Amino acid sequence: MPAELLLDKYPVLVSPRLATLIGLNEAIVLQQIQYWLVFNEENESLLPKEEQKHLRAGRWWTFNSAPNWRDKNFPFWSERTIQRTFTALRKAFVPKPPNEDGKPPEDSRVARDALLITGNFNRMKYDRTLWYTINYEALAKLDSENPKRASRQVVMMDNDKLSSPIPDTIPDRRVSHSQKNDSCANAQEGLPLPVKEKKESSSKEPRT
């Protein structure tokens, strides 16, 4: 499992890198599902197999209805946003082609396979609540392909002939070791820091 992309802790946290690759909403949902998968595994892994209700087909799963996903996990979203995000994760994503000027679209998301796998392990046939698990194989592929994408961006930036960096116009204000040590000692002892005296100008302009 790509440990750098997913976290095992609550509350809702998200890897900035993952959000860049697949989108912020998708990264939040995927991370929250990861939390519940780890939670289920930690709570059921030592139980007899017949009591491991979240372990199916060699994978750990989690399930919830749309209202429960909203109320217990994503109260900051509408049900429609939640359903749209889950649907996006269940499908492969193909980014838009470059713009007419040759520059890539502002969307940073990259091509990927479906990152969510769905199932139905409900006891009642009429119960259509979907079960979810993460497609770790697709996530690992996404992780491994990301450096290639980064190298392409570097080449693209070079071809764009970026202007030289902004010159540093801020003057250096260097402090000698003795001044720095005196200031630190005064701060630790609660003494006021030394104030640099202002030099009076030798010539004063007459007031009018």
pTM over 0.85: no
Of 46-50, 66-70, 181-185, the least confident: 181-185
User: Whole-angstrom Cα distance, residue 139 to residue 137?
Assistant: 5
Q: What is the per-residue pLDDT for 103?
A: 67
Mean pLDDT of the chain: 76
| Closest CA relative to residue 119, chosen from 14, 25, 37 | 37
Question: What is the percent of the chain with per-residue pLDDT over 70, rounded to a whole number?
Answer: 62
Phi first, then psi, for residue 133 (nearest 5°) are -145, 165
Strand arrangement of the beta sheet that strand 116-119 belongs to: 62-63, 131-134, 116-119
The residues near 44 (Cβ < 8 Å, ≥ 6 apart) are 51, 52, 53, 54, 55
- Cα separation, 208 vs 206, in Å, equals 6
Q: Which residues contact 37 (CB under 8 A, 6 or more apart)?
A: 60, 61, 62, 133, 134
Question: What is the rounded average pLDDT of the residues 102-111?
Answer: 74
Tokens 């000692």: give the residue. Answer: 185
Answer whether residue 10 shows pLDDT above 90. no
Does residue 147 register a pLDDT over 80? no
Tell whether the model's pLDDT for residue 111 goes beyond 80: yes
Q: 143 with 5: CB under 8 angstroms?
A: yes
Q: What is the pLDDT of residue 179?
A: 52
**Domain residue spans of the chain:** 16-94+104-146
